[in-house]
Chains A and B, each alone.
Chain A
Amino acid sequence: MPFDRADEDELYQEHILDHYEDPFHRGSCPHTTHAHEDDNPLCGDVVRIELDVDAAADKIQDAYFNGDGCCISQASASMLVEHVTGKSLEEVRNFKAEDMLALFGAKLTPNRQKCCLLSWRVLQQAIYSPTAQATTAEPLGPPRTLEQADREDHGS
């Protein structure tokens, strides 16, 4: 869909700024079983996601993020951890890039889509990344690489 400059007002709309300025679960997860961190080398934006995964119940009990970056990368991370809290791992795996862009809401140019999808990429890797302390966590199957995740979930 062609991007209209008028949509930019939508980009800095209330609910996005709310997430940016007053984020959901920004910080460290009190009981972290899984975590991953990555950056967008083009702009330096960084997002880390920490999860408390209940493997027996196949569920994300708790999710936190931390990071540094533009309004879009940080607001989308806040929206994402709020969205996946309480979800099953199956639901997270099936949460595709398109779903992330839809969750964010505002239309984005291809360059800014990368900002929005940073936290989504980190989450997709985090569910396969048990932390050292989380010895009780059950294995979740072979991890997908970020490239695989991008390919499978976001076209080429």
Chain B
Amino acid sequence: MALASSSLTTVSGFDPESIRGDFPILQTRLHASGDNPGVPLVYLDNAATTQRPRQVIQSLVDVYEKHYANVHRGIHWLSDQSTDLYEEAREKVRTFINAREREEVIFTHGTTESINCVARSWGDANVRAGDEVLLSEMEHHANLVPWYQLAERTGCKVRHLPITDDGRLVMDALPQVLSERTRLVGITAVSNVLGTINPLPEIIRQAHAAGAKVLVDAAQSVPHMATDVQSLDCDFLAFSGHKMLGPSGVGILYGKRALLEEMPPFLGGGSMIRRVRLDGFEPADLPAKFEAGTPPIVPAIGLGAAIDYINQIGLDAIHAHELLLTRRAHDVLEALDAGVRFLGPKPEEKAGIVSFTLKNVHAHDVAQLLDRAGVAVRAGHHCTMPLHKRLSCTSSSRASFYFYNTLGEVETFGRALGDALRIFKRK
């Protein structure tokens, strides 16, 4: 396999080498000892979490060193400073997903909390026994379990839109599983295993026609492709900061204002109240109503810095480069001649996620042997046990890309896999 990364890199119009210097952790060498200089880190676990550039790390340091106090509380100068930065970050998020109003952007602690907020608050208020929640067979546990819990509380029924063997939604089945009983459709924008980019506009159109609300799990899409909640017309959208260069511990719940206004608060505590008496309380206005307690102040500000960084690169360039890497990874895996089975559709139909199984090597052995070569991939069921059961495999290996990955790294991944296979092909 010829290595032509320099010429190929320019095909996507973006050269990751120009920005890799911004990411301190990507300079890491692993497994060095004595005279052994070790191997460079090849980080291909971006669907789990991404790394962050100096600009984001520095934004956190700046807040802690110069601007930190609790938000929306003090009269003092520092509290004003941190409140301004926190609300600036909210405005950056609003612009990034094109929400109509800042009140529709709720800071949570992650996608999981965002979805739980909707299931608890909107779900408990609007879903009754006999109602249905429609999910799909490719959902992450974070978009399954909160709805199963809702079903336990309310007696509603959870249904699943089936998928094809190559990991695409069976859209023809949507009219059959949607009904006037469907209260909500919870769907992932991009599968964290298959990489499948789901046809959200069509799903949302049909769901609304049936009278159902739609929650989009956008954890794997917002970091990689442009998101416009107004043109999508989704009712809720959830994503996390740590999968898009931001700190861990911050996520977003977008909701249409009218829905958020009607919903009861999720968590109770400080900030989310207008008034508390000895016999009750009145909730605060949006967005504070859903931000009980001290929010993830510094992670939220860091997420703002991450959005600035992503905007500088541009989501179109990011998506094009990831497609290039994904195509290359498919070629490299097929060239191994090791009985590779891809979970998910063709590179052109998916995001930068390549999940696969090899005929004779278990996913955990793949991950462990790749780690020797400095290559970090995920192995296991990736929080999608029902999906793996549907695809008749107990586990898979997953390489997932972000814009800082290079074609050279994909080649290293392929070489390391070749070495791993040789260990199992001694005879």
Contacts and interface: CB of A to CB of B under 8 A. Distances in A.
A4 B424 CA distance: 22
B389 to A, nearest CB: 10
Nearest to B426: A17
Contact of B424 (A6, A11, A17): A17
Contact of B380 (A8, A44, A68, A72): A44
B427 interface: yes
A70 B33 CA distance: 28
A21 B364 contact: no
A154 B405 CA distance: 42
A46 interface: yes
Given A5-B31, A5-B372, A43-B395, A70 B365 contact: yes
A68 B379 CA distance: 15
A44 B394 contact: yes
A95 interface: no
A115 B427 CA distance: 25
Contacts of B395: 43-44
Contacts, number: 51
Nearest to B381: A44
A136 to B, nearest CB: 35
B394 A12 contact: no
Contacts of A12: 365, 369, 423
A71 interface: yes
A102 interface: no
A112 B368 contact: yes
A4 B394 CA distance: 29
Please indicate which of the listed interface residues A21, A46, A68, A71 has the most CB atoms of chain B within 10 Å of its own CB: A71
Interface in A99-115: 112, 115
Contacts of A112: 364, 368
Contacts of B388: 44
Interface of A: 4-6, 8, 11-12, 17, 21, 42-46, 68-72, 112, 115
Contacts of A5: 30-31, 33, 372
A2 to B, nearest CB: 12
Interface residues of B, number: 21
Contacts of B369: 12
B363 interface: yes
B394 A71 contact: no
Interface in B341-397: 362-365, 368-369, 372, 379-381, 385, 388, 394-395
Given A8-B372, A17-B424, A71-B362, A46 B394 contact: yes
A8 B33 contact: no
A92 B206 CA distance: 60
Please indicate which of the listed interface residues B365, B369, B424 has the most CB atoms of chain A within 10 Å of its own CB: B365
A70 B364 contact: yes
Interface string B82-123: 000000000000000000000000000000000000000000
Interface of B: 30-31, 33, 362-365, 368-369, 372, 379-381, 385, 388, 394-395, 423-424, 426-427
A11 B364 CA distance: 13
Given A11-B368, A70-B363, A43 B426 contact: no
B426 A42 contact: no
A36 B424 CA distance: 29
Given A6-B33, A44-B381, A44-B394, A71 B365 contact: yes
A8 B394 contact: no
Contacts of B427: 21
A71 B395 CA distance: 13
B301 to A, nearest CB: 34
Nearest to A71: B365
A43 B364 contact: yes
B385 to A, nearest CB: 8
A86 to B, nearest CB: 29
Please indicate which of the listed interface residues A5, A17, A42 has the most CB atoms of chain B within 10 Å of its own CB: A5
Nearest to A9: B372
A43 B364 CA distance: 8
A17 B423 contact: yes
A8 B368 contact: yes
Nearest to A14: B426
Given A17-B423, A17-B424, A70-B364, A42 B380 contact: yes
11 contacts: A5-B31, A5-B33, A6-B33, A8-B368, A17-B423, A17-B424, A43-B394, A43-B395, A69-B362, A72-B364, A112-B368
Contacts of A44: 380-381, 385, 388, 394-395
Contacts of A45: 364, 394
A5 B416 CA distance: 16
A71 B364 CA distance: 8
A49 B31 CA distance: 37
B106 to A, nearest CB: 32
Contacts of B30: 5
Nearest to A43: B380
A45 B363 CA distance: 10
Given A44-B395, A46-B394, A70 B423 contact: no
A7 to B, nearest CB: 11
A4 B426 CA distance: 24
B364 A115 contact: yes
Nearest to B369: A12
A107 B99 CA distance: 53
A85 to B, nearest CB: 25
